């Protein structure tokens, strides 16, 4: 489970009595039991088992209902709602996902939980193209963060500062996806550069933000759309140098392979593909791993064809067990040849 969700799960340790004496308060062992179910959910998510994801999310919700309605049980309920919303999003049931995220935002006893609800809601709204609502939700989340940073966090409290900077990053990334889909490149660039300006320098950014590689990769995509090759390459390299191997951006490797192809440096292009194929990430589910491997092998086939080595191309092609969809084929051509 990511550090952000660990923080949320951990935040349910502060008891506040609110209601019914018929039910007892959550004890430490009850909280730990909920976290165990969350871990099972995460394992099901890794193998894209949406049926199990829904079961575990509902199990979390049922567990929360057994106890007094206080901050502990409310936060456990929010954990269940957010997880069930993610399961619905995996099934493309975005309307149901948004309802669960809205419920989590309403119920949230802590700002951290509320912000997680917001950025997952922004993702779901983007997926179902409700872009006006994306803008509204993102602005509410950023206004909340402004309030937290201004009034509730001491300048000397680096740990809290970093926690909420990471929430800001997630809101910005998902809002950025929506802006990019609408070709609002200038707005996305301002959003991202304003975020970077919050840090003293690049070292501060990398040390403060989880998965900085994600942010850099998004910046590279943006500058490709803006036809700024110099900045695109800069952020592609920053993304790979920041990634510790846990994320692995296949598209980033393929984009760099594309630049090597443009320069007719086919050996370098093959080497980049092989580097990506040899990285093992624990954070990709099975479907994504298979999709990425198929993309990289298909890229190697194209490179060997460009090198006029049909036998090598056929050999690699026979290793590829997955046929790319027409959309993925177009996406691969864009990554390798769109300059």
Instruction: At 45, list the tokens.
Output: 């998510």
Q: 34-48 as b/e, with b when 16 or more CB fall inside 10 Å?
A: bbebbebbeebbeee
Note the pTM of the prediction, 2 decimals: 0.81
* Whether pLDDT at 170 is above 50: yes
The answer as to whether 99 is a domain residue is no
The tokens describing 119, both together, are 């950025």
296: in domain: yes
Q: 147 lies in a domain? A: no
Is 231 part of a structural domain of the chain?
Answer: no
> Could you count the other beta carbons within 10 Å of the beta carbon of residue 77?
26
Q: Give the separation between CA 225 and CA 185, rounded to whole angstroms.
A: 8
Which of 131-140, 141-150, 238-247, 272-281 shows the lowest mean pLDDT across its residues? 238-247
Q: What is the pLDDT of residue 339?
A: 83
- Amino acid 10: pLDDT: 39
What is the predicted pLDDT for the residue at 223? 96
What are 244-271's pLDDT values in tens digits?
A: 655 667 889 999 999 999 999 999 999 9
Q: What is the count of structural domains for the chain?
A: 1
pLDDT at 84 over 80: yes
DSSP class of residue 108 equals -
Query: Would you tell me how many other CB atoms lie within 10 Å of the CB of residue 243?
Result: 20
Residue 253 within a domain: yes
Contact 255, 237 (CB under 8 A): no
Neighbour tally for 217: CB within 10 Å: 24
Tell me if 113 is assigned to some domain: no
- Asked if residues 37 and 12 have their Cβ atoms less than 8 Å apart, the reply is no
Confirm whether 325 is domain-assigned: yes
pLDDT digits (tens, 9 = 90+) for 305-318: 999 999 999 999 99
Q: Domain limits at 299?
A: 246-339
Short-list 311, 279, 273, CA closest to 294: 273
Give Cα separations from 295 to 61, 126, 246, 277, 322 (angstroms). Answer: 38, 25, 19, 10, 9
pLDDT of residue 246: 58
The torsion angle over the Cα atoms of residues 10, 64, 38 and 93, rounded to 10 degrees, is -120
Return mean pLDDT, the chain. Answer: 90
CA distance 181 to 128: 12
Q: Is the pLDDT of residue 289 over 90?
A: no
* For residue 9, pLDDT beyond 90: no
Sequence-distant (6+) residues with CB within 8 A of 214 are 173, 239, 247
Q: Is 261 a domain residue?
A: yes
| Nearest CA among 65, 58, 120 for reference residue 94 | 120
* Residue 47 in this model has a pLDDT that exceeds 50: yes
The answer, yes or no, to whether residue 18 has pLDDT greater than 90, is no
pLDDT at 87 exceeding the cut of 50: yes
CA gap 46, 225 in Å, rounded: 31
**Can you tell me whether residue 61 is helix, strand or coil?**
helix
Is the pLDDT score of 110 beyond 80? Answer: yes
- Return the axis-axis angle of helices 158-181 and 131-147, rounded to nearest 10°: 160
């Amino acid at each position: 489970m990511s550090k952000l969700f660990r923080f949320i799960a951990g935040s349910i340790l502060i008891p506040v009595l609110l209601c019914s004496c018929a039910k007892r308060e959550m004890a430490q062992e009850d909280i730990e039991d909920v976290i165990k179910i969350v871990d099972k959910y995460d394992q099901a998510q890794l193998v894209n088992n949406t049926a199990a994801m829904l079961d575990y999310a509902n199990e979390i919700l049922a567990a929360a209902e057994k106890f007094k309605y206080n901050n502990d049980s409310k936060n456990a309920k929010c954990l269940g709602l957010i997880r069930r919303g993610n399961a619905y999003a995996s099934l493309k049931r975005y309307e149901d996902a948004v309802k669960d995220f809205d419920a989590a935002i309403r119920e949230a006893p802590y700002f951290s939980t509320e912000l997680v609800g917001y950025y997952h809601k922004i993702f779901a709204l983007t997926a179902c193209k409700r872009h006006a609502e994306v803008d509204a939700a993102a602005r509410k989340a950023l206004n909340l963060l402004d309030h937290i940073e201004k009034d509730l966090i001491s300048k000397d409290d680096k740990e809290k500062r970093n926690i909420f900077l990471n929430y800001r990053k997630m809101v910005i990334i998902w809002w950025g996806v929506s802006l990019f889909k609408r070709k609002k490149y200038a707005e996305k660039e301002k959003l991202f550069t304003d975020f970077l300006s919050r840090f003293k320098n690049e070292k501060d950014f990398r040390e403060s933000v989880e998965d900085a590689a994600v942010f850099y990769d998004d910046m590279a995509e943006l500058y490709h759309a803006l036809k700024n090759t110099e900045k695109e390459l800069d952020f592609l390299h920053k993304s790979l140098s920041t990634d510790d191997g846990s994320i692995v951006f296949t598209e980033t490797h393929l984009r760099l392979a594309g630049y090597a192809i443009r320069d007719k440096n086919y050996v370098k292009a093959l080497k980049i593909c092989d580097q990506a194929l040899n990285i093992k990430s624990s954070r990709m589910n099975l479907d994504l791993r298979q999709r990425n491997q198929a993309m990289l092998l298909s890229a190697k086939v194209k490179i060997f064809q460009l090198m006029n080595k049909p036998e090598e191309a056929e050999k690699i092609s026979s290793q590829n067990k997955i046929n790319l969809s027409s959309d993925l084929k177009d996406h691969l051509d864009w990554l390798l040849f769109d300059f």
